[in-house]
Structure 1
Amino acid sequence: MSVLLCPIRVGARHHPQAEALTFAGRSWSYEALDAEVSRWVAALEAEGVGASDRVASLATNHVASVCLFWALGRLGAVLAPLNARLTSVELAPMVEDIQPRLRLALGALAERLPGARPLESFAEAVSTGASTCQPLEASSPRVVLFTSGTTGRPKGAVLTEGNFRASSRASAGNLGAHPAPRWLGTLPLFHVGGIAMLTRTAYEGGCLVLHERFDADAANRAIDGEGVSHASLVATTLERVLEARGDRRMPDSFAWALIGGGPVPVPLLARARAAGLRALQTYGLTEACSQVTTERPDTADGRTAGVPLLGVEVRIVGAGGEVLGAGAEGDIEVRAPTVMAGYWQRPEATQEAVRDGWLRTKDVGVLDGGGRLTVLSRRTDLIVRGGENIYPAEVEAVLVNHPAVQEASVVGFPDDRWGERPVAFVAPRQGQPHPGDEELAAWCRQSLAGFKTPARFVWVDALPRNAMGKVERTVLRRHALR
C-alpha cells in the first residue's frame, strides 16, 4: 500500500520559496510553513498527542488552524474541527463522542469549549521543531467532521488522507492544470469545503489566501491584487462579490469559482459570467469529501450541478433500491474514493449510509441523458440557509421545551438573499399565553446558533398530520409562502 508524505514537507524540499499561505497581512513560503508546522508537532508531542488521538478545535479561520491540521497529520492524529457558530449546548455531545486527547480554542470562543487551551498561542513557547513526519496511508483518518441527520443527532464523518487526495485530483481534472493555484479561503476550516481548499492547494503546490471570514470587499481586493485564481463560494457570497465589484470586470488571473451550498439561481450565474467571473455550479456533501459533480468548463450553462468528477460514480435509485434511467427522479447515490470511511463509532449509521460501496445521500435528484445531475431536494426536510444546514428536528426540540409550546414544526421558505430561511409553526400549550416572536427567538438563541433561529413564528391550533400521524410539511410549506 502506498504511503503519503505531508505535502508541506514535500513542498519545502522541492519549491521552498514558493508561497504556501497568506493570512492577515502575513505570508509563509513552503519552507517557512514547514518550520512552523514542525514547532506545532513538538508542542503536540509535549502534550502526549500521538497516532490515532483526537484533538478538538473551536476556531474561525486562523493560521493556527492550518498549522494544527498539518501537524496532526505528521503524528497520525485526527482533527475534530467544531463549528464556531454553535453554542456550548450544541457542542457538548460532539466533544463527548470524540473524547479528545486535547481541546484547543481561539480565545474569543474558549468559554464554549470547557477545558480548552488557547489555540493561537499553543506553540508559542516551542523554539525547536520536531522532525516527526509520519507517512500516511490512504486509509489514515485525518478529520472527523460532525454533520446531523434528519433526527438532528450529530454524527462524525471520518474523512481520510485518501479521501482528500482523491477529491483534489478529481477537482483538478475538471478545472484543468494550473501551475500554482491560489485559492481564496473564505469558507470556514471547520467545514469540508474549507479543508478541501486547504488540502487542494498544498497537494498542487499552490497557495491558500486565507481570510478570517467572508468579506466581499476583502475578497475583491484579493482577487484584484493578490492573484487569486480560484474561489469556492455559495450563492449569497457570489452575489455579494458581484455587488461590491460594481462595473469592474474580473482580472485575467482569475480562473474559476465553484458555487455550492445548494441550488444557484440561473440569473445570478449569468450575471457572474457577464462580469467575467466564470462560475461552475457544484453538488457535494461532507460524507463525499466535498465535490461530487461539477459543471464542465466547456459546457457549463448553470442549469445543472454538472457531471460526476473523475473517479466518481453517481446513480439515481427508486424507493425499492432499483437503479433508474435518465430523466427519472429518485435518491442520489455516490460511489468514489472520496466517500468517507464511516461515521465515528456509529456502525449502524455507517451501514445505513454506505451499502456495497454506495453512499446513500438521501438527496433527491435526476440525471439527464448526458449524465448531468439536477438536485431536486437536499435531504428530507433539510433547510439550507446560505450554505449552512439547518435540521428542523433540532430546532423543533428546542421550541417544544418552551412552556407555552405544545408542538412545533420547522420548514424552509425561499429567501432572495439566503436561499432559504426557517419558519416555525407552533401550537400553543393549553392555558398558556402566546409568547411574542422576540421571546421565542431569544429562547432559541439560548441553545442554537443564530442562523438556526426561525425568521418567523406562525401560531396554529394544531399541526396538520396525515393518517400515519406524521406532520404534513408540504402543507406547512405552502402556508409559509402565503
Structure 2
Amino acid sequence: MIQSPTAPALAPPFAAPFPVRTAQDVQRLQARPLEETLTVQSTYEIFRNSAAAFGDKAALTFLRSADPADDAITWNYRELLAGIHQTANLLHSLGIREGDAVGVLLPGCLEYHLALWGGEAAGIVQPLNPLLTEDKLASLMTTARAKALIAYGSDVECGSWSKALRLMDRVPTLQTLLRVAPWDEPVSARPALPDCALDFNASRAAQPSDRLISERAIRPGDVAAYFHTGGTTGAPKLAVHTHANQVFSAWAAVQLQNAGPGDVVINGYPLFHVAGVLPASLAALSAGVETVIPTTLLLRNRDVLRNYWRLVEKHRATSLQGVPTILAALAEVPLAGADISSLRYCRTGAAPLPAELAARFKRLFGLHVSESLGMTEMAGITSISPPGCEFPVNCVGFPLPYVQVRIVSLDMPAGQPARDLPPGTPGMALFKAANVIPGFLDPEDTARAFTEDGWLISGDVGFLDGEGRLHLQGRAKDLIIRGGHNIDPKTIEDALARHPAVQLCAAVGAPDAYAGELPIAFVTLAEGSTATEAELVAYAAEHVDEGPARPKRVVVLDSMPMTNVGKIYKPDLRRLATAVAVQAVVARTLQEAGLAHDDPVLRVLADAQPDVAVEAGAGAPAPLKERLREALSRLPVKVDLRD
C-alpha cells in the first residue's frame, strides 16, 4: 500500500480487550484519558487500519436474492479500501473538497459503502431516504448545498433515478450526478446519460485505488456527514456529524458488543439511517466483522424475512440486529430445521420492545433480546446491553465508556437549572460525550437540542439503577415511533388541517403489537361541516408525504381535549388512541370466536384508571377471555382484563 506523506501511521483495528458484564467493566475501559485510548482521527483511517489488518478477509457480502443457495458477491477489506480510494478520488476530480456535501440516494448495495466512506474522505456525505418526496429531497440537498449526487440508476423501488434527474434542476448547487447501475444490468443495456451525469463504477475505475490523490489530512473535528432527523418533519433538520463523533461511536460499540473478526452480521438497517451506518456498519468494519447486505430491499424484502433463519445458517451469522418490528416479523417465521446455533447476540433499539415479544423470542429461538439506545444526535448509539447480559425489558444497558449521563427533573421552570434526581427516580436523560454532535445546520435547531451549559436533551424519560444501567420509560417528545421510524405528528396535523371541514386536529401514536405505534389522528369539524372517517383517511393518504406517517384511522370528536391555556391536551388523546387500539383487538378476538365484533360480552373501559381496561361480562366463556388476554399482552401498553 502506497502511503501519502500526510497519511497517519497505521494502527491496530478496534478490538475489545475483555467482555463487558458490569458498570465496573465500563469504568475499566475509560480508566485512561480518551485521547490516549482512542487515537484514530477519521473514518478513513479506520478503513486503512482494517485493510492492513484483515486484507483478504470478507468485509461486505451482498445477497443478490433471498435464496440461500444463490451465489453472493463479496468484497474483502483490501478491495473495500481500494473502492473507497477510487470514490474519494473521483469526487475530488469533480471538485469536491472537505466542506462540500455529496448526496447519496441508494438502496442496499455494495456501492453505498463506497459512497459513504469515500464521500467522507473527500468531503461531507449526505445519506438520503429514497422514500422521501422529491420536494423534501430537494429541500434537504439545497440546505446542505450539495454539489454531487450518487443515485441508483433504476426506478423499480422508489423512482430513485427519475427523482435524481429532476433534482439536478431543483438543487441550485448540484453540479454532477453519478449513476450506480443495478448489479444485474448488462453493460449493453445501460442508458445514455445526460451531460451532467457519469457512470459511477466506470468513472471510479479510472481513478487510483492505492491512495487519496488529494493527500488530505482529515482532522477529528472535520465534518463527516449530514444526517436528516426529526422523522417526517417538513423543514430540513440536518445533524452535523464530525469524524470524531463517528469514530467514537464505532470504537465504543465494538467494546460493549465484544465484536471481532470471528463475527458475521446481517445488516438490514437502511444506510440513510444512522443506526445502519454507524453502530451497525462502521463498528463492524472497524473490527474485522463480515457484514451481509440482504438484497437491495434489505429487510423490507419479504422473501429475506421468510428465509432469514436459513440465511443465518448459510452465513453463520453471530449477531441478529433489528428494530422490534423486524423481530415481531421474524417471530412468525418458523425455524423449519435451520441451524441458528451460530447466533450469540440479539440486539434491538429505536422503538419500545414489547415484553411479550422478548419472551416469545426467548421461547421460540432461545435468544435473549438485548436493548440499546441510540439517536442521530449521538452518532447512532448511546447505551448498549452487552452480549451475555440478560437485562429486563426496557433496560437499554450501560452508557458507553466516557459518556456522562444526568437524569433531571421534568418540572423545572423555564430558565432554571436542571435538578438532578437520585438513582431509580425517572426524569429526562441528558448527555455529554465524544459522540454528541456539535449541532445542526440550523442554529435554532441546535439551541433547542441543548441546555445552556451544553448538555444534549435526549427527549427520553428514564432512570439509572444502582448497577449503572439505563432504563427507559417513554419519550417526552411527541414523536410517534413506528417500527423505529420517527414520525412528527405535525406532518399529519398540517395535512389534515387543510381539509375544509376540519377545525382542529391532532395526531398521536396508537399502540400496536407489530409496529410499536401507529399514527392515529383526531379531529373536530367546523360548524356546519360534515366529513366521514373514510373521507378523512383518504384525504390524509393523499396529502401526507411519507407512507409510514399516513394514519389508518381519523377519529371525529365532538370536542378536543384542551389545557387551561388553550393547548390541545395530548395525554387524553393518547388514552383515546389506546382505547381505539384495544377495541380493535377486542373486535378481532370476538370475530375469531364466531361472535359479532361488537358483542357486549366484552366492553372497553376507556376511562378506567390508571390504564385502559376491558370488562368481561358474566357470559364471557373462559376460552374467550384467555384468547383476549393473550392478544392484549402483545400490545406495548398495559391493559387489564376485568371480570
Question: In the alignment, is residue 350 of structure 1 matched against residue 446 of structure 2?
Answer: yes
Report the counterpart of residue 87 of structure 2 in structure 1.
40
Aligned mates of 1:402, 1:348 — CA distance in 2: 30
CA contact (8 A) 1:19 1:207 kept: yes
Report the CA distance shift for 1:11/1:373 in structure 2 as closer, same or farther (over 3 A): closer
Question: In the alignment, is residue 19 of structure 1 matched against residue 55 of structure 2?
Answer: no
Report matched runs for 1:403-442 at 5 Å. 403-437=500-534, 440-442=537-539
SS of the residue 1:154 aligns to: coil
Report the counterpart of residue 179 of structure 1 in structure 2.
261
Report matched runs for 1:435-454 at 5 Å. 435-437=532-534, 440-454=537-551
Question: In the alignment, is residue 78 of structure 1 matched against residue 175 of structure 2?
Answer: no
TM-score (norm 2): 0.70
Cα distance per residue 1:420-450 (max 9 Å; x no partner): 1111112223444315525533544444211
Report the CA distance shift for 1:7/1:96 in structure 2 as closer, same or farther (over 3 A): same
CA contact (8 A) 1:35 1:129 kept: no
Report matched runs for 1:262-341 at 5 Å. 262-274=351-363, 275-303=365-393, 304-318=395-409, 319-320=411-412, 321-341=418-438
SS of the residue 1:167 aligns to: helix
Question: In the alignment, is residue 198 of structure 1 matched against residue 281 of structure 2?
Answer: yes
Q: Which moved further from structure 2: 291-300 or 363-372?
A: 291-300
| Residue of structure 2 aligned with 1:56, choices 96, 99, 103 | 103
CA contact (8 A) 2:132 2:545 kept: yes
Report matched runs for 1:353-364 at 5 Å. 353-355=449-451, 356-364=453-461
Kindly indicate which of the two structures has a greater share of residues assigned to strand.
1
Post-superposition offset of 1:145: 0.8
Aligned mates of 1:444, 1:65 — CA distance in 2: 31
The structure with the larger Rg is: 2
CA contact (8 A) 2:105 2:128 kept: yes
CA contact (8 A) 2:232 2:546 kept: no
CA contact (8 A) 2:373 2:383 kept: yes
CA contact (8 A) 1:441 1:453 kept: no
Report the CA distance shift for 1:392/1:22 in structure 2 as closer, same or farther (over 3 A): same
Cα distance per residue 1:2-39 (max 9 Å; x no partner): 54444333333333211111112211112222232333
| Residue of structure 2 aligned with 1:228, choices 287, 310, 317 | 317
Structure 2 portions without partners, runs of 5+: 1-34, 65-71, 169-176, 182-198, 413-417, 580-643
Report the counterpart of residue 120 of structure 1 in structure 2.
180
SS of the residue 1:420 aligns to: strand
Post-superposition offset of 1:151: 7.2
CA contact (8 A) 1:56 1:102 kept: yes
CA contact (8 A) 2:492 2:544 kept: no
| Residue of structure 1 aligned with 2:238, choices 156, 181, 184 | 156
Aligned mates of 1:386, 1:35 — CA distance in 2: 36
TM-score (norm 1): 0.92
Report the CA distance shift for 1:468/1:451 in structure 2 as closer, same or farther (over 3 A): same
Post-superposition offset of 1:60: 2.1
- Partner amino acid for 2:526? R
Q: CA RMSD in A?
A: 2.3
Report the counterpart of residue 67 of structure 2 in structure 1.
none
Aligned mates of 1:150, 1:159 — CA distance in 2: 20
Post-superposition offset of 1:388: 0.4
Aligned mates of 1:188, 1:78 — CA distance in 2: 19
Post-superposition offset of 1:118: 4.9
Tell me how many residue pairs correspond in the alignment: 480
Question: In the alignment, is residue 257 of structure 1 matched against residue 257 of structure 2?
Answer: no
SS of the residue 2:381 aligns to: strand
Post-superposition offset of 1:187: 0.4
Post-superposition offset of 1:269: 1.8
Question: In the alignment, is residue 463 of structure 1 matched against residue 560 of structure 2?
Answer: yes
Report the CA distance shift for 1:119/1:468 in structure 2 as closer, same or farther (over 3 A): farther
Question: In the alignment, is residue 168 of structure 1 matched against residue 250 of structure 2?
Answer: yes
Report the CA distance shift for 1:325/1:96 in structure 2 as closer, same or farther (over 3 A): same
Aligned mates of 1:349, 1:436 — CA distance in 2: 35
Report the counterpart of residue 497 of structure 2 in structure 1.
400
Identity between Structure 1 and Structure 2 (%): 29
- Partner amino acid for 1:254? L
Aligned mates of 2:97, 2:263 — CA distance in 1: 32
Report the counterpart of residue 228 of structure 2 in structure 1.
146
Post-superposition offset of 1:279: 2.4
Report the counterpart of residue 217 of structure 1 in structure 2.
306
Structure 1 portions without partners, runs of 5+: none
